[in-house]
Amino acid sequence: MDPMEPFKATFFQECEEQMAELEAGLLALESGEGDGETINAVFRAVHSVKGGAGAFGFDSLVKFAHVFETALDAMRSGALEVEPEAVKIMLRASDVLADHVLEAKGQGQVDCARAQAMAEELAGLTSGGGEPLEEPGDGSVEGEDSFGFTPLMVDLDEAPAARAPQADVEEPGGWRLSFAPTEAMYAKGNDALLLLRELERLGAHDISLESSALPEFDFLNPEASYCKWSARLPGDVPEADIRDVFDFVGDDCPLALIHENELIKGAAPPSLVADLGLAPALASALDDPFATTPAPPPAAPVDVAALLSAARAEAPQPAPKARPAVKDAPAGEELHAGKEAGKAAAVAATIRVDLDRVDRLIDLVGELVINQAMLAQRVSEANLARSSTVAIGLDELEQLTREIQDSVMAIRAQPVKSVFQRMPRLVREIASATRKEVRLVTEGENTEVDKTVIERLSDPITHMLRNAIDHGLESPEERVAAGKPAEGVVRLAALHRSGRIVIEVSDDGRGINRPRVRDIAVSKGLIAADASLTDEEVDNLIFLPGFSTAQTISDISGRGVGMDVVKRSIQALGGRISISSQPGKGSTFTMSLPLTLAVLDGMVVTAAEHTLVAPLTAIVETLRPKPNDVRRLGPRGAVLAVRGAHVPLIDVGVALGWRPNPVDPAAGVTLLVESEVGGRAALVVDAIQGQRQVVIKSLEANYQRVEAIAAATILGDGRVALILDVDAVIDSRFLEKLESQPLAQAS
Amino acid sequence: MPAASAIKVLVVDDQLTMRTLIRSTLQQLGFVDIADAPDGEEGFKALIQRPVNLVLSDFNMPKLDGLAFLRAVRSHEPLRKTAFIMLTGRADADLVQRAIQFGVNNYIAKPFTAQALKAKIEQVFGALT
């Protein structure tokens, strides 16, 4: 194996993160929300991709990233204005960069012409800044010589790590000073920052701010002075130089200055020691430099923050708009900012775990749930009192098991962001292919759902977005003519609703052309010419197999996939999809999916001596029909009257081929179920055993696909039960096949 | 002639890829004590906790970039003498000039080979054994 292989994997993983950051940053800039820090982050993302790519020798990726980086650098330095056109070009460049990354990964090929054109466009942004795909300057050799820089040698024995840090911190022999500017000093327009800068020039270190005198905000007098600074200076700085710094502020800024040697000699006036804020313990420690003092914590957090902020203030501020407050802010605010940053870092603490391990854990917890259920069953069979310790202990175990299961599921839960993030690019591409102006608005990106569901969300969302832009939105001219803004809005939203995740894709386009949909459905023989359908039913005709409204199959929505395929793939996940539309105002696709594909709340039933599980989400109600509510339709069919409406009765035992003839519905129990377009149906079963949460085991993975069965599970008593695919059972085509079988046998 | 194994190193880079790469390169060269940090701020905190002999730091990082990090190291007396080698992605004249001004010991342009890194470190510490 290539020794670099594991590093490459890390690199590509990081690339994905960088690319996401890049796109998010550019989108923020496009919408005018970005600031200097956003430009920095965007620049860093490209820069990092380039850096890593260089290490692995991905030359074309490096070259393109270099051109991109150059343009971003110009934006960062202010040479290139942050205006929508430039950002749009960069967004497209980020797509090309993503292609390059994919190519480096060995997944696809970059369209060289497109990349070249893009590179030229980027170079054009920086007013023709050189040949586009030119080799990035190989600075390692050339660069050094041009500076005539001689590396600074270090004697290892003198290097700080060789010595204990505390010894350094408390090494006496330097100056200690503290100063407290008065109101008068500020009133004259002087600034403590200037004093600090001067002191720093003299080599001041360990500068710290004493801000404890600051009152609560309500009591703060903006013209009063509350802050006090202390610092240390190397002992060899002449005292006069230090006093010179404070010369022009004079009495307006009292200065306490002392040499540590004097402290040791005990020559320092006690008042001065107090002014310097030297704790008595510290002062006495200084008396005897050889005493082993309890070392103060190696670095008080304030010190780190103060040092860092000092370093920051002097560091180049590459972004023109990068928080101008930093330089002039009072030191107190800086310290605060430093702490905030630390807090943010702590919040984002995460670990990367191999997905296999999580899956293994989930499998194990699944087994645990089954074991617990089996145990519960044994105990109940033993006829123990509910109050027996075993029963109580078992109840607690059940509770715990549930909690463990929920927590484990939460590990796999991920925000839908990872899918949503890929969509802006798609929308840009479709928009430019269809010559429409589109703005994508996303909502609820942080909605969490199981990882397995996330992976399968991408295709349906992609298809719905394509459909919304290609069919839903009008051309800019049509929109303007209809009194709408030329730019169409497509909204992609995710939310949780009653234990499911709902994804909505809506557009503000023309809405569904119902007469045309109806005509097509009639002409394709999908509905009878005189069928009376509600608007909603007409809208949902587009999900029927074989329905496609596009007159010519366009490259965008076409691809040979109709909405029926989308619908089926969503149903395979236990999901539902529907559409609602308002002519002239737009359409909304609503797709709902279970939050997890690992467990299911189900109703355990028996039919023809088989145990089955019906998903609870599909069941509207359960009832025991009265004999006169059942109406026969022909030799085999029957309907059930439920509160004035008639629903088809389906005998589950017959539907699954377990018995030849339906039982008397009045003798069994019926489950009134609902599917998204198949409407309602009453499923006849023999008995209901109860409700429980079951762990889904794939039939396809362990056996093979079985029609009308979604999956299998293991019940508490160890039996395998099949999970009913309610939509498939109701599906008219499935029923027709059933109807035709006996006839075929008869003939 | 210092032994590579005696030199404590801190690698500071915001990219995990680069940190792992540099770490493995250093290991190839015989370095043993290698710590790392994702940005200047974390790097500085790490140094306060536990000083090292050599810092290898990237320039472009979030929170606290390489220059500010270098400056922080140089202005904190206990760390002042830490050897500091800046890793630069670009041969940026201005950047390198500033780093020199702030007392950088050496610098190296990314990407680099193990031999190039070794040479840069030897320019600072003398030949490694």
Q: What are the pLDDT digits (tens) for A375-386?
A: 887 887 888 777
A178 with A257, same domain: the answer is yes
The whole-angstrom distance between residue A319's C-alpha and the CA centroid of its chain comes to 27
Angle of the A5-30 helix axis to the A423-434 helix axis, nearest 10: 60
Per the CB < 8 A criterion, the answer to whether A721 and A694 are in contact is yes
Q: Does B77 touch chain A (CB under 8 A)?
A: yes
Any A CB within 8 A of B113 CB: no
Closest CA to B82 of B57, B108, B118, B51: B51
The runs of H, that is alpha helices, within A590-731 are 652-655, 699-702, 726-730
Judge whether B128 lies within some domain. Answer: no
Residue B106 to chain A, least CA–CA distance (Å): 5
Find the closest chain B residue to A41 by CA distance.
B62
B44 part of a folded domain: yes
Work out the number of other CB atoms within 10 angstroms of the CB of residue A81. 11
Nearest-angstrom CA–CA distance, A85 and A37: 20
Would residue B129 count as lying in a domain?
no
Cβ–Cβ contact B67 with A under 8 A: yes
For residue B24, tell me if it sits in a domain: yes
Residue B47 lies in a domain: yes
Instruction: Tell me which residue range forms the domain holding B110.
Output: 4-122
The H or E element spanning position A402 is helix A389-412
Tell me which H or E stretch contains A38: helix A36-56
Query: Are the CB atoms for A606 and A685 separated by under 8 Å?
Result: yes
Which residues in chain A are closer than 8 Å to B53, comparing Cβ atoms? 154, 156, 159-162
Helix (H, G, I), strand (E, B) or coil at B12: strand
Q: Yes or no: say if A43 and A73 are a contact pair by the CB < 8 Å rule.
A: yes
Residues 6+ apart with CB under 8 A from A475: A435, A436
Q: Among A157, A304, A327, A343, which would you mutate to test the B interface (most chain B Cβ atoms within 10 Å of its Cβ)?
A: A304
Judge whether B128 is closer than 8 Å to chain A, CB to CB.
no
Q: What is the CATH number of the domain that holds B103?
A: 3.40.50.2300
- Residue B126: its chain A contacts at CB < 8 A? 153
CB-defined contacts A:B, below 8 A? 177
Instruction: Specify the number of domains making up chain A.
Output: 5
Q: Nearest-CA residue of chain A relative to B126?
A: A153
pLDDT in tens, A6-62: 778 888 888 888 888 888 888 888 887 778 888 888 888 888 888 888 888 888 888
The answer to whether the Cβ–Cβ distance between A311 and B72 falls below 8 Å is yes
Chain A contact probe: residue of B33, B76, B104, B123 with most A CBs at under 10 A = B76
Residue A472 domain-assigned (yes or no):
yes
Min Cα distance B7 → chain A (Å) is 8
Nearest to A227 by CA among A242, A207, A212: A212
What is each CA distance from A336 to A323, A326, A668, A684, B38, in whole angstroms?
15, 12, 71, 68, 21
Check the CA dihedral A102-A106-A109-A112 and report its sign. Answer: positive
Residue B72 carries which side chain, given as an amino acid letter? A
How would you write B34-95 as a 3-class SS string? Answer: EEEECCHHHHHHHHHHCCCCEEEEECCCCCCCHHHHHHHHHHCHHHCCCEEEEEECCCCHHH
Residue A291 has a pLDDT of 36
Together in a domain, A586 and A612 = no
Min Cα–Cα distance to chain B from A143, Å: 6
- Which of B15, B71, B97 lies nearest to residue A48, judging by beta carbons? B15
Closest residue in A to B83 (Cα) is: A154
Shared domain check, A277 and A128: no
Contact A713, A697 (CB under 8 A): yes
Regions of chain A with pLDDT less than 70:
1-3, 127-148, 157-172, 262-303, 313-349, 498-499, 548-561, 597-598, 635-636, 675-678, 731-747
Question: Could you say which of B15, B98, B107 has the minimum Cβ distance to residue A14?
Answer: B15
Contact criterion met (CB below 8 Å) for A218 and A161: no
Asked if residue A80 is part of any domain, the answer here is yes
pLDDT at residue A548, as a whole number: 64
| Residues of chain A neighbouring B17 (CB-CB closer than 8 A) | 7, 10-11, 14, 52, 55
Query: Measured between alpha carbons, how far is A513 from B51 in angstroms, rounded to an integer?
Result: 72
Chain A hits for B81, CB-CB cut-off 8 Å, are 154, 158-160
Q: How far is A18 from chain B (nearest CA, A)?
A: 10
Question: Helix or strand or coil: residue A650?
Answer: strand
Residue A343 burial (10 A CB sphere; 0-12, 13-18, 19+): exposed
| List of long-range contacts for A83-90, beta carbons under 8 Å, 24+ apart | A84/A30, A86/A125, A87/A26, A87/A29, A87/A30, A88/A30, A89/A121, A89/A122, A89/A125, A90/A26, A90/A42, A90/A122
Same-domain pairing of A585 and A623? no
Q: Which long-range contacts (CB under 8 A, 24 or more apart) does A292-297 make?
A: A293/A170, A295/A166, A295/A169, A295/A170, A296/A166, A296/A169, A296/A170
pLDDT in tens, B47-72: 988 999 999 998 888 888 888 899 88
What the block records as the tokens of A24 is 């998010």
Q: Do B7 and A156 touch (CB under 8 A)?
A: yes
A93 and A37 fall within a common domain: yes
- CB of B109 within 8 Å of any CB in chain A? yes
Domain membership of residue A146 (yes or no) is no
Q: How far is CA A681 from the centre of its chain?
A: 39
Q: Give the CATH number, domain containing residue A670.
A: 2.40.50.180
Same domain? A423 vs A369:
no
Judgement on whether residues A222 and A260 belong to the same structural domain of the protein: yes
Give bridge partners of residue A439 from the DSSP assignment.
A489
Q: How many Å apart are CA A285 and CA A296, to the nearest integer?
A: 11
Residue A331, domain member (yes or no): no
A43 to chain B: closest CA residue: B60
- Residues A570, A423, single domain; the answer is yes
The reply to whether omega before B111 is within 30° of 0 (cis) is yes
DSSP letter string, A415-471: ETHHHHTTHHHHHHHHHHHHT--EEEEEE-TT-EEEHHHHHHHHHHHHHHHHHIIII
Residue A341 lies in a domain: no
In whole angstroms, what is the distance from residue A549 CA to residue A467 CA?
11
Who among A51, A158, A159 is closest to B110 (CB)?
A51
- The domain in which residue A494 lies consists of 416-594
> Parallel, antiparallel, or unpaired for β A228-233 and A205-210?
antiparallel
Q: Please tell me the distance in Å from A229's CA to the nearest CA on chain B.
A: 17
Q: What are phi and psi of B107, to 5 degrees?
A: -150, 160
Integer Cα distance of A371 and A400 in angstroms:
13
Same domain, A523 and A606: no
Query: A309-349: per-residue pLDDT in tens?
Result: 777 765 544 444 433 333 343 444 444 444 444 444 444 56
User: A92 and A122: one domain?
Assistant: yes
- Per CB-CB distance under 8 Å, the chain A contacts of B125 are 153-154, 156
Q: Does B121 touch chain A (CB under 8 A)?
A: no
- Cβ proximity of A619 and A672 under 8 Å: yes
- Which among B96, B105, B111 has the least Cβ separation from residue A154? B105
B110 occurs within a structural domain? yes
Name, in order, each residue with C-beta under 8 angstroms of A398's C-beta and a sequence gap of 6 or more.
Answer: A372, A376
The beta-carbon neighbor of A341 closest among B63, B67, B125 is B63
- Which of B49, B53, B100 lies closest to A298 in CB terms? B49
Number of domains in chain B: 1
Q: What is the 3-state secondary structure (H, E, C) of A581-622?
A: EECCCEEEEEEEEECCCCEEEEEEEEECCEEEEEEHHHEEEE
Asked if residue A726 and residue A661 are part of one domain, the reply reads: yes
Are the beta carbons of A206 and B77 closer than 8 angstroms?
Answer: yes
**Structural domain ending residue among the three candidates A531, A559, A594:** A594
Residue A90 sits in a domain whose CATH number is 1.20.120.160
Flag if A232 and B77 touch (Cβ within 8 Å).
yes
Q: Do A635 and A539 lie in a common domain? A: no
Rounded CA separation A500/A521 (Å): 32
Instruction: Write the burial class of residue A291 (CB in 10 Å: 0-12 exposed, 13-18 middle, 19+ buried).
Output: exposed
